[in-house]
Structure 1
Amino acid sequence: MQLVRGLHNLRPQDRGCVATIGNFDGVHRGHQAILARLRERALELDLPSCVVIFEPQPREYFAPQTAPARLARLRDKLRLLAAEGVDRVLCLAFNQRLSKLSASEFVDTILVDGLGIKHLEVGDDFHFGCDRVGDFAFLQQAGKTRGFTVEAAQTVELQGVRVSSTQVRKALAAADFNLAEGLLGRPFRIVGRVLHGQKLARQLGWPTANVQLKRRRVPLTGVYLVSVPIDGVQWPGVANIGVRPTVAGDGKAHLEVHLLDFAGDLYGRRLTVAFHQKLRDEQRFASLEALKSAIDADVAAARAHWHGQPLN
């Protein structure tokens, strides 16, 4: 899959494609349906498929403190899009200049002059342009005068609920991992590199992998049953994700994973942590001894669970 960062990096040979536009956070089953239709149109027209995304996402630009937690970082989003058979991703920097483009300027500058699109596939609730005045009807009319067709992707529902990134976040907040997996089409996972940390958990008898989050907010907080594939083997474990209130820290969210009976050096490796069940909320304990007792209980609960439901 080709990644193009910014319109200025588009080459003349990149013009001519079928495209879709959006955040594609999590690349859930609703997104997957749009991408499947995009592939079909690309084959019919013998053109490459292109997904236009924004970095940061618009809500993160306009209201960074209240923007929803990301389901996937950019790196992971690109990997998921590639797995869906996307030929090209155009990643646009969402900044003041882009935010001020009118709907008509957006169509002309990005879709027509930049990409030379022949067909556009969008969600039925898609809005764009300054003040979000552009919508599906606007695109249909623009397509008639500028030489491209537009199709609205059909809504995907699960158990009567419209599949969306918002619904995935709600499922995660409710610790309903079965619903989250149904909405995503896969278990919810966080991917990150293992970094050196305070090594406090090791001193308490339970060494953990400190997995880099690299995000302002995370959609989970608490203690969870997790699994991590390492060299072809699925390792069961328990993980804490949160700000570690018992220990004076930096106030940022951290993901710490203890893999049951694993012995090995994970520093520098990129781990994929799948979440399966919530054990408890993150708590502030009166002492390190109380924290150790809680971790002991968490590990015991994880052992009991994974003994009854082995991964391998």
Structure 2
Amino acid sequence: MLATIAAATSDVLVIGGTGLMGAPTAARLLEAGRRVVIMSRGKTQGQGTNGRRPTTPAGAEMLLCDRDDEDAFVAALCSPDCPRVIVDFTAMKPSQVQSVRRAHEKLPLAHYIFVSTNMAYPGGVERMDVSATDGRIAEKSARLGSASEAPCNYGGNKLKCEALLHRYAAAAPPLRSTVVRPPAVVGAGCDPRHKKLQRLWHEKLQRLVLGLPPLPETKACPPAERPGRRFRVACADDVAQVIARVVDRPPPPTHASAQRQDGGASEAYEAFNVASGGPQGYDLDDYVAALAAALGRPVPEVPEAPEMRNYEKQGVLDTTRAEEELGFVPTQMSEWMAATVAWHAPLLDGCS
């Protein structure tokens, strides 16, 4: 016999709750009156190690555990006091989702929320670029059936994780899971360690508007397959908004087994896009103009250099489903740009 669920389903474990998306998610859940436990590897590892990290929300409990120690991770999830609702920001490979499944078989989880990426869509898996997709990208575009042939890169591994969850939803005992797919995420709390890798695209554009020279590239950046295309990014608070609404979503009836439009095996599996701004997205000129307005600077000409135009690879995610089923309201760019600019200002102050 499987052990019964011990912790209240109003409790939530946030794995990676000290990062860009995790900290505002934990804060929203606490504001809703939930008990929140944050699992982290501690100050010596993880996001924010080499720079400022977002403020850990007051009232959250801390659980130190390295998920790469699989036995310790499973034991932590099977503790009677561990929340049975999990929000997972840090799972990056199938073996980490398999560890969650192991824990679920020992002590059932009520709900597992997996934070994936828009790079699980066609183009992202192959080239980290979904710009070739015409129109808005809906959840059903994910090709879960081809996950086994996907390369073991960022998008491919996330797709493999999703395919496992799709299968676990129909297995015994079924694991109720929700996948959340954001594009590139911006906001207060971006990790400064990525400056070395030149992966912090907002920071690149903020340097451009400030008239600072670009930092040297560490590797070649291929251009977007469809340069000049419109795109959407997600502010961290919107990711938190969607996840908090998913956590509040009541569980499906135990008898539900209808096929979902997003390719889910049953009501125990679902996926939602999350992105900010209007449904048609914006182009890079729009983005830079909003950034310049937040800085009070003249709008510079956006260079054609591929390393400055990564956002064009993000595509335009369709968030209709989250808006209609969850009541998600995307934040407009002018609202979140100021917070993002303010966060980066100290990092760039005095740079040349």
Structure with greater strand share of residues = 1
Alignment TM class, shorter chain as reference = under 0.3
Larger Rg: 1
Structure with more contact order per residue of length (Cα contacts < 8 Å, sep ≥ 6)? 2
Structure 2 length normalisation: TM-score?
A: 0.24
Structure 1 length normalisation: TM-score?
A: 0.26
